[in-house]
Amino acid sequence: MASNGDDDAYDLFGPAPVAKADDAPPPATKESYASLFPSAAPKETSEDAFEDNPLFPQQTQVPPTERQEGRRLQAPTYRTAEEFKKSGNAIDIILVRNEGGTAVASTPWHAAFSYSRFSSSTTGDHIDVFVNGHQLPIPMVLNDKGRCTFPSGQDTPPDDVLCFLNELIPLDSKALFASVRFEHRKRYSTSVRFVESRLYVWAPDDAVVVADLDGTITISDIEGHIRTLRLGQYDFIHAGACGFFWKLHAIGLRILYLTARPIHWADASREHLDQAAQAPYRLPPGPLITNSSGLTGALLTEVVNKNPNVFKQNVLNAIQLASIHGGRRSPHPVFVAGFGNRPTDVMAYEAVGVDAACIFLIDPTSSLKAVRGAKVFESYSDPDALLWLLPKLKPIVPFSLRDTIDSYIAHEIVEAEDRNAARALAKAKALEAQQRAKALEVQQRALAQSRSLSRTVSSSASARQDDDPTTATSRSTNPVAQHPNRTEL
């Protein structure tokens, strides 16, 4: 800072001395610091000291960039196990294939996942389909309201899927059905929703028997819904139903369970068919086809329009079309017999070529009657019902089943004779017991009359004795007899 003359007058110490060039301190060097602060000498260690020592393994230095890359590659990946949850229902599938596997066709594939308008939209997601644990080459697509279709927008599989199924399922497979699983993996979530159904493989010339479920297998319609689906009472079925349909299955006929229940009840209905039993028989296996339009559509069909025959006719026509595309050669109709409990069932069966003599209606009392026939059978357990049906099926089923039908006819004839003999014996015993009871009743009545007569005679005799005047006079003249404290000697 520059100073003027007045400021210099008050400088008590005077100006700073001027330093000479020779008096400047020498610059500091590394050697000077080392001499002033000597460091400890490094410990001499040979490189061979760590070669064979397992506690000090040799490590090579890695450049920083390589260490960072290695750290990124070796970073742990956090994986969360997928959570599977059953959410929805699916209808069984029928795959029709000829003996050589050169013609394959399928019925429509219907799968419905649970749907809520308040949940996030999953429309367009892929649905992975597995058959016996093997994934199909083409996934399905999730559409509105949880319905699934193939990428083409159709509910029938494309040729690639049919070829895959043809190679997957052996031609000589003896399995009753193949398991089908539809899996929906939500985006940004570990939960996996799935629904299950079954795939049945039929030959194109197979003969099929159609059976309604409500009122035909179960004893009644509404009560059958409640007791089988809600209460789990799977034995609420008509007498002899399991044995009757099992015999048809054992002959070689295919059993198709067709019901107007909505697709949302498919799993519960399938469980009912699996658990229903009447010793020693169970209901035979067979595809379960329900209404694919859901609960609202099923109620509209059953309650409002009252035309379930239209839905059933469409389903049966789709199965016939699959049989034709699968290589059917038989001139006879696919469906050879039908069982129902309403006139609409008769309309649906007749529309697909079932003979009226092979269509049966059953009422809540289990009485069974053919549409074109005067005889009424007691129930499914009546052997005469099979004796009525089997001779009519013999000309229209595959030739390989006719010998089996003959053997079953002979068996049912013997069973009918045994049953009639047992009934005659039971009737004779009942008549004999009735006659014994009647004779015993006559004896008891005669004994009662005799006792009543004896009482009447005794009472009349005592009355006459009281009315006799000599007896009264003797009593009055005898003072001893009149005395209350008399003693007889």
So what's the pLDDT on residue 52? 46
* Count of other CB atoms within 10 angstroms of residue 251: 19
**Cβ neighbours for 316, distance < 8 A, ≥ 6 positions apart:** 210, 258, 334, 335, 348, 351, 352
- Region of 124 please: left (phi>0), alpha (psi -120 to 50) or beta: left
Yes or no: say if 245 and 276 are a contact pair by the CB < 8 Å rule.
no
pLDDT single digits (tens) 7-55: 444 454 455 555 555 555 555 555 554 555 455 544 444 444 444 444 4
User: 22 vs 386, which has greater pLDDT?
Assistant: 386
Indicate whether this model's pTM tops 0.75.
Answer: no
Phi, psi at 387, each rounded to 5°: -65, -25
3-state secondary structure of 483: coil
Closest by CA to 100, choosing from 172, 164, 165, is: 172
Tell me the average pLDDT of the chain.
81
Q: Positive or negative CA dihedral for 27, 31, 37, 42?
A: positive
Contact 315, 309 (CB under 8 A): no
CA angle 411, 389, 272 (to 5 degrees): 90
Count Cβ atoms below 10 Å from residue 65 Cβ, excluding itself: 8
Fill in the amino acid letter for 437.
Answer: A
- Distance (Å, rounded) from C-alpha 346 to C-alpha 350? 6
* DSSP secondary structure, 72-136, as one string: HHTPPP-----EEEE-EEE--EEEEE-TTSS-EEE----EEE---TTSPP-TT-EEEEEETTEE-
Segment 154-166 shows an average pLDDT of: 94
What CA–CA distance (Å, rounded) separates 100 from 104? 10
Phi and psi at residue 149, in whole multiples of 5°? -140, 170
Q: Collapsing DSSP states into helix, strand and coil, what is residue 217?
A: coil
Q: What are phi and psi of 275, to 5 degrees?
A: -95, -15
- β 88-90/111-113 pair status: antiparallel
Tell how far CA 467 is from the center of its chain: 92
Strand duo 368-370 + 191-202: pairing: unpaired
Q: Which of 94-108, 181-195, 273-287, 381-395 has the lowest average pLDDT?
A: 181-195
DSSP lists the bridge partners of residue 192 as: 84, 185
Read off φ and ψ for residue 483, nearest 5 degrees. -70, 135
pLDDT band of residue 276 (cuts 50, 70, 90) is very high
Tokens representing 26 are 């020498």
- Cβ atoms 388, 375 nearer than 8 A: yes
Q: Which amino acid is at 35?
A: S
Residues 245-261 have a mean pLDDT of 95
- Asked if 82-202 and 203-444 have one fold, the answer is no
Q: Above pLDDT 90, what percent of the chain?
A: 49
- For the chain, which residues make up each domain, given as ranges? 82-202, 203-444
209 pLDDT exceeds 50? yes
Model confidence pLDDT, tens digit, residues 55-93: 444 444 445 444 444 444 444 444 457 788 998 999 999
Architecture of domain 203-444 in this structure: 3-Layer(aba) Sandwich (3.40)
CATH class held by domain 82-202: mainly beta
